[in-house]
Amino acid sequence: MATSTGPDPAADESSDRPAKRPRLDSNGEVSRGHRHIAAVILARGGSKGIPLKNIKMLAGVPLIGWVVRAAVDSKVFDSVWVSTDHDDIESVAKKCGARVHRRSAAVSKDTSTSLETLQEFSKLNPDVDVICNIQATSPCLHPHHLKEAVEMITKHGYQSVFSVVRRHHFRWQEVKNGVTSTTALNLNPAQRPRRQDWDGELCENGSFYFATKELIGQGILQGGKTAYFEMQPEYSVDIDVDIDWPVAEQRVLRYGYFGKDKPELLRLLLCNVSGCLTDGQVYMSAGAEEMLSVNSRDLTGISMLKKWGMEVILISSSENPVPKPLADKLSQKTGCELVHLTEQKQVEVERLMMKKKLAWEEVAYLGVATADHLPPSRPIYCLLYFHTNHLHVHLHYIHKPSLRSTSSPSTRQLHLQHSLPNISTIPPQHMSKPSQPGLSGFISKPLHLHCPSD
């Protein structure tokens, strides 16, 4: 027998049904027309494509955590649920702030449909009038998407609302046995339109489906007075296979919803010249003279940080020697102060912080070699990406003593050391190694810094 459990301050913990929290009208009185609207995120444990995909870490957050956060922060749902048959998913769901519908074995099979699970949920929770099935694989969902969709239900009387995205794809008939030619399905080849002259087609993106309990009871998600809610393409992320994961991470970093809390602010970046601004390559001239290479993207990134108000100090040290003329030239080129550190790095860094009246939460230390590491008492590192208009930082818990820097033609990745009071409470077995090569730790908590566009 399925049960529905989960934390809800407004309900008796022993009750399996969501508490009815009356909505107040503009006069502060209970609205008689209020209906209980519940968000239900389906997260079965037996994912065939990616094992326990629903709680795999995506950009520092369990996959279901992204949609749970959007649903909770939208404040349009009377209850937010995760429907699962797995103990670990249940544990993560509760930590993310959702209640749990522990589905029965009958609707947990490989052949079970989403509608069957929603029907079971509806029978167990008859007080719920409207159910929003939110797909866990849509991590770029934002609260405002859900708010606008709910208004279509509550203000305009729609019985079902689902999300779509506009696509500009020409479709053709599949060629099967016995067929020698294909035919266009949505195109006249003789009058092939330009993209800007064609409105495209509306396709379901799977982010969410609203339906009344009456429709769900009839076995349909889309019926009655039906409407679609169009989402922009950048918010449409669908994770089907493992190869999509790194792509989804990049999309989430730029377009995901990171919560209502104000992002933490870094005010000072301490950047080691050797190994950070130099790219590890040594060139030899005909006269056996050594020459070092500098990546111009790093200098561009530093200029962006300074433009956005972050102070950057370049560091040279005896452990990672770099020719003084080069260090001086980079200091002059970037307009950054150059400081020489000795073996007592932590003491000198903290002295510098005290001078500038900064706390560890406001400072990032950038180094790539073992000698650059501060003592183990601060085992938190950041992975920083430079983009055109955004700066994204990820915190990683590092288990090994060394860390290698990585770079790509389009993005320079810098490893920063950053103090954080609490590491994520997600059990280690649910943490996944980051997709970027060279890292030896696990994503623990995201830190998102949104920098203004030009």
Can you tell me the distance from the alpha carbon of 68 to that of 86, in angstroms, rounded to the nearest whole number? 17
Q: Could you give the angle at the alpha carbon of 323 between the alpha carbons of 317 and 329, nearest 5°?
A: 100
**Torsion, Cα of 69, 74, 80, 84 (10° steps):** -40
Per-residue tokens: 191: 């009058």
Can you tell me the distance from the alpha carbon of 365 to that of 381, in angstroms, rounded to the nearest whole number? 9
Q: CA neighbours within 13 Å on the CB side: how many for 67?
A: 28
Per-residue tokens: 412: 């320079």
Contact yes or no for 77/71 (Cβ under 8 A): yes
Per-residue tokens: 407: 């770079």
* One-letter amino acid for residue 57 of the chain: M
Is residue 192 part of the annotated active site? The answer reads yes
Check residue 6 and give left, alpha or beta (phi > 0: left; psi -120 to 50: alpha).
Answer: left
- Per the listing, tokens 């650059």 go with 372
Question: Active-site residue among 167, 192, 351, 404?
Answer: 192
Neighbours of 366 (CB within 10 A): 24
Contact yes or no for 208/149 (Cβ under 8 A): yes
Instruction: Give the active site residues.
Output: 192
